[in-house]
Amino acid sequence: MTTEAIIEADLTWTGKAFESGVRIKVDAQGRVEAVGDASVGEPTLRLRDRALLPGFVNAHSHAFQRGLRGRGETFPAGQGDFWLWREAMYELVEQLDEERLYALTTQAYREMLDAGITTVGEFHYLHHDGRGDNFAFDEVVLRAAKDVGIRIVLLNAFYFSGGFNETGHTPLAGGQQRFATRSLDGYWLQMDRLAKLIDPATQSLGVVAHSIRAVPVDALQQLHAEAARRGLVFHMHLEEQPREIEECIRHYGRTPMALVNDHLEVSPLFTAVHATHTNEADMEAFLDAGGNVCLCPLTEANLGDGLANVPWILKHGGHLALGSDSNARISMLEEARWMEYGQRLAHQMRGVCRDDNGAIATTLMSAMTVHGA
């Protein structure tokens, strides 16, 4: 958009309901200046037989995994699971160079814009191009977002270890070397470098601990403390798989979420991604501290992860965001639909995501927009 406009559709979502007669004033840079009635001015763009929604916020994306679409849907060895899928993901990782990553990322981001997504939280852990620890891929993702024209929060991941067992964390291996952040000092040096490169009008940074598998607790504490000091959002994969929880209990004596609650000062800047198998006590403590939860229903279904306890999260006032995660399908409306439908199947009831007035639209729209921001 290169000129100012006043837009009026037949119906506009205003936060609680669709309303008629709503006019939106947009400046030449595409920024919304005013939302109101006829006092905003005469419409220069009248959208008849249309309903107008706010731009969606995709709170959790791995753009490079767009390259896995169409793979892994046959199972010659028998039943598949997350861990077998992860091996296919590692194979893709080792095939990528800057050109291929740029192509996949721009493809994913264009599909997001086509689906009404105007902001993406890119949970980015694929840092290196295979020629050493050069962080070459960080800039590729930022460039792709800028070229496509989507607003991005680069949620830059700290990824230190390949997993853990009873004796401790294990070294990175194979394709995981592309994810490596060898030290906290090196991570923050890269964050400072990226801070000088981003376009502040449409790009910002956040901090990620990939998972309890990939970040030992002492490093997690230091990483989160520095993120809090800088006022940066903090995201982390948590309790997507029962195996991760079992391994964590064997090594640390408690669940991943319990470690987060016990060792970090959780605040509204913290988002737990998935929390599929989080128990009620751990979730209540996390939510009471102000933590948020991001669900990715289509990916969680595709991988056979399971279903988070959404009624418990909502009962305790939790903020739910949504993400496209593996980008096997990019549609926030589908994510929202399956957040509700999955819960209907799990609990054998309808209207699980209803608000105090019995409507589900406000809960789902908030998950697609403000709760991911």
How is residue 254 written in tokens?
């408690």
Which entry of 138, 282, 325, 371 is annotated as an active-site residue?
325
Which entry of 124, 235, 274, 371 is annotated as an active-site residue?
274
Q: In one letter, which amino acid is 121?
A: G
Taking the C-alpha atoms of residue 345 and residue 328, their distance in angstroms, rounded to an integer, is 22
Q: How far is CA 354 from the centre of its chain?
A: 23
Pairing of the two strands 117-124 and 151-158: parallel
56-372: in CATH 3.50.50.60: no
Q: Environment class of residue 163 by beta-carbon count within 10 Å: exposed (0-12), middle (13-18) or buried (19+)? A: middle
Q: Which pLDDT score, from 0 to 100, does residue 85 have?
A: 86
How long a stretch of residues is the chain? 373
Q: Which pLDDT score, from 0 to 100, does residue 166 have?
A: 81
Matching residue, tokens 């952040």: 181
Per-residue pLDDT of the chain (373 residues; tens, 9 = 90+): 568 999 999 999 999 899 999 999 999 988 899 999 999 999 999 999 999 999 999 999 999 999 999 887 777 777 788 888 888 899 999 999 999 999 999 999 999 999 999 999 999 999 999 898 999 999 999 999 999 999 999 999 999 999 998 888 999 999 999 999 999 999 999 999 999 999 999 999 999 999 999 999 999 999 999 999 999 999 999 999 999 999 999 999 999 999 999 999 999 999 999 999 999 999 999 999 999 999 999 999 999 999 999 999 999 999 999 999 999 999 999 999 999 999 999 999 999 999 999 999 999 999 999 999 8
CA angle 241, 59, 173 (to 5 degrees): 45
R_g of the chain computed on alpha carbons: 21
Matching residue, tokens 């107008």: 52
325 among known catalytic residues: yes
The Cβ of residue 242 has, within 10 Å, a number of other Cβ atoms equal to 13
Q: Which pLDDT score, from 0 to 100, does residue 2 have?
A: 64
For 135, the 3-state DSSP assignment is coil
Q: Which pLDDT score, from 0 to 100, does residue 280 have?
A: 97
For 271, the 3-state DSSP assignment is strand
46: alpha, beta or left, given left = phi > 0 and alpha = psi -120 to 50? Answer: beta
In Å, how far are 15, 34, 133, 294 from 368, measured between CA atoms? 12, 21, 35, 10
Q: In one letter, which amino acid is 189?
A: L
Q: Which pLDDT score, from 0 to 100, does residue 83 have?
A: 84
263 among known catalytic residues: no
